Amino acid sequence: MQENFQLENNNQNQFDQRPPLGRNQKIAAAVLAVFAIAVVFMWAAQFKKSISGPFSNGSENAQTGDQTSLQQEDSEESLRAKDTDGDGLSDWDELYFYKTSPYLEDSDSDGFTDKQEIDNEKDPNCPVGRDCDSSGIVEGDADVVNPGSKADDSDSLNTLMDQLNVDQNLSQPGQSNAGAAEMPAELKAIFGSNMDAATLRQTLLQYGMQKEALDKISDEQLMQSYKEILGG
């Protein structure tokens, strides 16, 4: 038992006494750490877009269809005099001013009619209590699509940098650090500008990026991000 304990201590001492990374290795490690997080963010953004896109396009197409249908049937005068859904707004106002559905008294299905929301200075196309951005994606739903991604990715980056014994100032964008300015050139000198996707994947895994996250990114996306890090 004592021999095993001594052996474990010896192994730990050898691990702790490993030689520090050289300057080039530190710079390369810093760039790869930032690159790994950037790739994860890129994948998360595309994942969010793939989920939200059909709903956003569907809503726009539905309103366009409503507008085309009524335009074919009615003139401007008749549209101004007509209230198909009975919400207190003319079909003309709904089609051309408020961009709501003339067939639904509650276009956003939040329990309040379009007119009630307009009278209370609310967006009739955004459910009450929510903050909808211009793309039609609810701000509060971003965390549902990718919960805790920003905090988790930041923590992962800091942990990875600590494990690699890399000065975290090297990876901070926008700083006048000479090492940060040289990072793309150093990375190209160490790994080469013609690195292929398979080698890049293996390198990222060696530097601590999780395989599960890396597997969700295509070779094309990976190489595109790598080229952007190198400056084109």
- Per residue of the chain (232 residues), what is the pLDDT tens digit? 555 555 555 555 554 555 555 656 666 666 666 667 666 666 666 656 655 555 445 555 556 656 666 555 567 888 888 999 999 999 889 988 899 998 889 988 888 999 999 999 889 999 888 877 644 444 444 444 444 444 454 454 455 445 544 444 444 444 444 444 455 565 566 556 667 888 877 877 776 677 777 777 788 877 777 777 666 5
Residue 223 has a pLDDT of: 77
For residue 147, is it within any domain?
yes
Domain extent, residue 116, equals 24-229
Residue 115 has a pLDDT of: 92
For residue 195, is it within any domain?
yes
- CA 134/CA 112 separation, integer angstroms: 21
For residue 18, is it within any domain?
no
For residue 72, is it within any domain?
yes
For residue 217, is it within any domain?
yes
For residue 135, is it within any domain?
yes
**Contacts with 122 (C-beta within 8 Å, 6 or more apart), sequence order:** 112, 128
- CA 137/CA 144 separation, integer angstroms: 12
For residue 172, is it within any domain?
yes
For residue 100, is it within any domain?
yes
- CA 164/CA 26 separation, integer angstroms: 8
Domain count, the chain: 1
Q: What's the mean pLDDT when you consider all of the chain?
A: 66
- CA 205/CA 65 separation, integer angstroms: 49
pTM: 0.31
**Distance between the two ends of the chain, CA-based, in angstroms?**
58
Of 28, 38, 39, the C-alpha closest to 207 is 28
